[in-house]
Structure 1
Amino acid sequence: MRILTIRAIAAPLALVAIAGAAMPAAAQDTDTAARLRKVEAEIRALQRKVFPGADGKFFEPQITQQQTAPTTTTNTASPTAVTDILARLDALESQLAQITAQTEVNTNAINLINARLDALDKGKAADANAPTDAAKPDNGEAVDSNLQAMTGGSDAKPAPAPAKPDKAPEAASNTGPSAQRLAAVQAITKPKTDDAGDDEYSYGFRLWDAKFYPEAEQQLTMFVDKYPDHWRISYARNLLGRAYLDDGKPQQAAAWFLKNYQADKQGARAPDSLLYLADAMIVEKDTKRACIALAEFSETYPAIASGRLRDQYEGDLKKVKCN
């Protein structure tokens, strides 16, 4: 009887001891989960500080108040603390991967934009450097012989250009250009770089671009004479021809266009010169020689005829009727 009484008292005490041992473990899991939620909240806040303006695609709403662990427990099954931590680490790694991928996409986009801007700058510089050479043929026979040279005849070079430019349209008298024109020309600055030849050419281009054609003719002629081996020479001869053509002197222009083509058919502006030669002949109403130039252009530069200069080439074909 006494033994039964002792066992009846000991059984409840054992249950209490087991429950007491389990409670610290449950409390430890609750503390770990709460600490992990706090760390995650701080990481999200840091992400928003580093990447301002982020949206829900990459970050969850910022946690402004720490949520407390539930005060009641249930008997339903729940993940262990380790499983919960691993799941959350996977989520963090996924977010970091998304941020890294977006950074790479943005970097590539910026690189492409920079490359396109560089290409545009180079294209503008190339257009600005359209070649021109100033030389004036003695008469129409010189132009004829140059055109024959293009198709295998004798080679006739342009005569030297006059030392001084023609009288400016705005000139008030026969004594020279007006003070207003001189001031306008002086306002155009000459570049100063390590390449003196390129500076001279660029100055001639600026004069031509400002429609000071006689001054451009003189400047570009000086460049051609002084820098015959410069890398800008094909540009300069071509631009000189364009200056004469824009100045209403198609014969002088034709001589320089043909010279530029014959001097170096692989020159940077040799195709342009051959096409502008056709333009000069069209202005002269010389359909035969215009057609010869157009045929030579399409045969020598088929890729350019269907590419960079296609519009100009097709426009010239519409102006003349070639057999």
Structure 2
Amino acid sequence: MRFLLAATAMAVVFGAAGTAQAQDSAISGRVDRLEREMRAVQRKVFPGGAGQTVEPQITPETSTTVPGMPSSSPLSDLTQRVTALEEQQRTLTGQVEQGQYRLRQLEDAFAAYKRLADNRLKALEDRSTATAALGGEDTTVPADTAGAVIRPPAPIGTRPSIPAPGAGTTPAAPKPTGTRAQQVAAIEKPATGDPAEDGYTYGFRLWQAKLYPEARRELETVATKYPTHRRASYSQNLLGRAYLDSGAPSLAAVAFYENYKKNPKGERAPDSLYYLAQALIKLKKPASEVCKVYTELDQLYGDKLSTEMKAGVAEGRASQKCK
């Protein structure tokens, strides 16, 4: 009986295998079903097992295809993967280059900010420690005057003097003594009814007394508040000299250049251009820039220069070896 059942099961398996060969698309499922049935029959025939089960002689073929792998050739697959990696590399390279460019921009911006902060700090320190005038020299050049014609200043000994405000009869300010507040209080503040004239006169007296921060405050107020008044040109020019005398040549140059540029017909425009040249020398600018300033001064204001200023320009040109 047992052999008969086993033979029957094997015949079924052989028949299934033959059918599978004829029907290639359904063989796998049918073989699985038949195997399950055969195992069920074996469990009935051999309840305890004990190695007495009969293994089928025909088994389904084992597929060598790895699930999920493409059916294309290995070379084609590798080519696609390499192409994808190259595209990712190009993307990463572009991102790195953009990051480096932005980093350079930030570094340049920080360096510019640091230079500006250092200049301002130095100007504040110079103002607080200045105790004496520098002989009335103007030694600063504005940072935004690259396109301006700049000429060398004349020697200190031939530098033109600055006229006193008003009719030229204003007495020299007394030498201040005592605390800072007492020194400022000792300077007489005029009250003629003309605020621009009074502000310039007061600023001039503070400048004479070497109270430069207070003088700059008054002079800047006049130049800003009364730009059309004749004393605006005087105030802006003297503002530059106050910066220069307190050891802040860069700020002085800005003041001189603005007076010359914004008010070229002002009475102190020639003086500002003259002192701007001296500022360039103090800043150790190239002689070519200084000579350009002197040339422009001669071309624009040659017939308006005083004898003393003309002599200063001539000596300045000679010292800078201007052609």
* TM-score, normalised with respect to structure 1: 0.45
TM-score, structure 2 normalization: 0.45
